Amino acid sequence: MKQKSLLLLAILGFSLLSGCSTMGVDAWEKDLLAKPEMALDEQPLTDALDDHIYFSKEASSGGRAYAGGGCGCN
Amino acid sequence: MKKNLLLKSALATATMTLIAGAAHAEEEQDRTAPASKEQTIGDWKFDAAFLFYSESDSRVSAIEPVFNANKRLDEDEYLNLKLTVDSLTGASPSGAVASDQPLTFTRPSGNASYTVNANEYPLDDTFKDTRAALAANWTFPVSDMTKAGLGANISKEYDYLSASINGNISYDFNNRNSTLFAGLSYAFDSIDPVGGAPIAFGRMQPVGDPQNKLSDTQDKDTLDLLLGITQVIDRESLFQFNYSYSMSDGYHNDPYKVLSVLDDQGNYFDDGIPVANVLFESRPDERTKHGLFGRYKRYVGGDILDVSYRYMTDDWEIDSHTVDFKYRFALDNGDYWQPHVRYYTQTQADFYQPYLRQDQPLPQFASSDYRLAEYDAITVGLEYGMKTAAGNQWRFSLEMYNQTPTEPEKYGALQQQTLLPDWNAVMLRVNYSF
């Protein structure tokens, strides 16, 4: 049941987003978004270190990137 | 006591680092902020990071150096190589409950034992491991609007080997204001626990006696799917939305975790065997997880707001919510301060049990791993970033993590004990990009 409602929510999320095709800016207005510190993967090493810590200490992992794994972390 | 000392020394180190950073910033106040180094075709770009992680009460300590090399092969084509080493020492909760009597446990090897004092939370101090991981990723353009990526990872530690491959594709549309992403990852893990993988619910045996363990290697397959969209909202902001699916099949037990068997008075049930009455845990051999993740990032007159929320649910009945908040305050000289707050909360797994009772039938699955219990966790941190005159970047960060579990139901003698104590960790990180 929960999985069904989650799937519905995901579909709703994506369809809302596709409604966003009117959003956005022209190429010459992307100066601020093009700054390296505005990139979503600005700090990949920090993100990976954090993901590894939380993967080892919490039951949930992933979401932002792959759920990861690959260790018998205590 | 020890915990306070540790926190104090970590704080002192971090303060010194930050003061040094501030002094450096002052010195170079009048210099204009150097631009980030442009990575031209054929250029390598390097990132190094070092993490020091330490838990309270002499639990786990880790040092983790990472080195990353990225080569720009062509206009939109990159090769990325990353090496991570992870060195751990310390003690980890065994899953057993504390008692008003000293408890003796056999070490995983079956060759030695250790004793936990009366009224002390049982930690297994056998724990020592070094892990090395190598990751390679190649991203390349497929067409004007489409990019793809292929990657492979391998991670090896004493008792665990993991290998994975992944592939992804992303498509820009709507004037490059929208990007759709789809990625798939497959991992194969091979597990050779010290002393062998315990038989589910096998009774811990004394040193010298045959242990309830299997000699063959255990394995696990994991398939991950990630679907996402990134959307530019306006000149200053964008958001990201991901759906993730993960399915794993195979050995999910923690081979070093046990459950106490208690009598109707809340004491260890005496079955005449001279080591604590504990059984090795038993988890399902499958797990399916779903996740929704949303993130919003905004440029605020030089500062940057970065917030995200994640909801995860799985068929072990663990639901979790994570909220993450970062705000980067830009300084005039190009340096920055970035406070960070993260809140996490999870429900317990349906088979989580802090202990077993002799007078009740054995369930199909049970684990007393604190990570499968119900708890809240909070991370608070501060990062300082600065650029050198050559355009290289330093980042220093200090974070504190605190986990507060919900204490499970207790009875009889157990009421004198804390089954799930709060714990803290300090994380100190240094990054250098050049």
Q: Note whether B162 contacts A69, CB cutoff 8 Å.
A: yes
What is residue B31's predicted lDDT score, i.e. its pLDDT?
38
Q: Does B260 touch chain A (CB under 8 A)?
A: no
Q: Which amino acid is at B180?
A: L
Q: Which residues of A touch B174 (CB under 8 A)?
A: 21, 23-24
- Here the contacts of B263-266 (C-beta below 8 Å, separation 24 or greater) are B263/B357, B263/B358, B263/B359, B264/B357, B264/B358, B264/B359, B264/B412, B265/B412, B265/B413, B266/B410, B266/B411, B266/B412, B266/B413, B266/B414, B266/B415
Return the closest-CA partner of residue B401 out of A50, A71, A74, A6: A50
Return the closest-CA partner of residue B222 out of B190, B255, B253, B185: B185
Q: Closest Cα of chain B to A4: distance in Å?
A: 11
A24 → closest Cβ in B175, B185, B320: B175
Q: Which of A22, A35, A50 to mutate to test the interface with B (most CBs of B within 10 A)?
A: A50
Q: Which of A3, A7, A37, A42 to mutate to test the interface with B (most CBs of B within 10 A)?
A: A37
How far from B154 is each of B71, B221, B243, B245, B270, CA to CA, in Å? 20, 14, 25, 21, 45
ipTM metric: 0.87
A62 → closest Cβ in B86, B232, B246: B246
* pLDDT tens-digit map of B114-158: 999 999 999 998 777 899 999 999 999 999 999 999 999 999 998
* pLDDT tens-digit map of A4-50: 666 666 666 666 666 556 788 998 999 999 999 999 999 999 999 99
* pLDDT tens-digit map of B205-222: 999 999 999 989 999 999
Q: Which residues of A touch B139 (CB under 8 A)?
A: none
Q: Note whether A62 contacts B244, CB cutoff 8 Å.
A: yes
Kindly list the structural domains of chain B, giving each domain's residue range(s) and its CATH number in brackets, ordered by start: 2-433 (2.40.160)
Q: Note whether B234 contacts A10, CB cutoff 8 Å.
A: no
- Mean residue pLDDT of chain B comes to 91
What is the mean pLDDT of the segment spanning B19-46?
58
Q: Closest Cα of chain A to B265: distance in Å?
A: 31
Residues 197-226 of B with CB under 8 A from A: 222, 224, 226
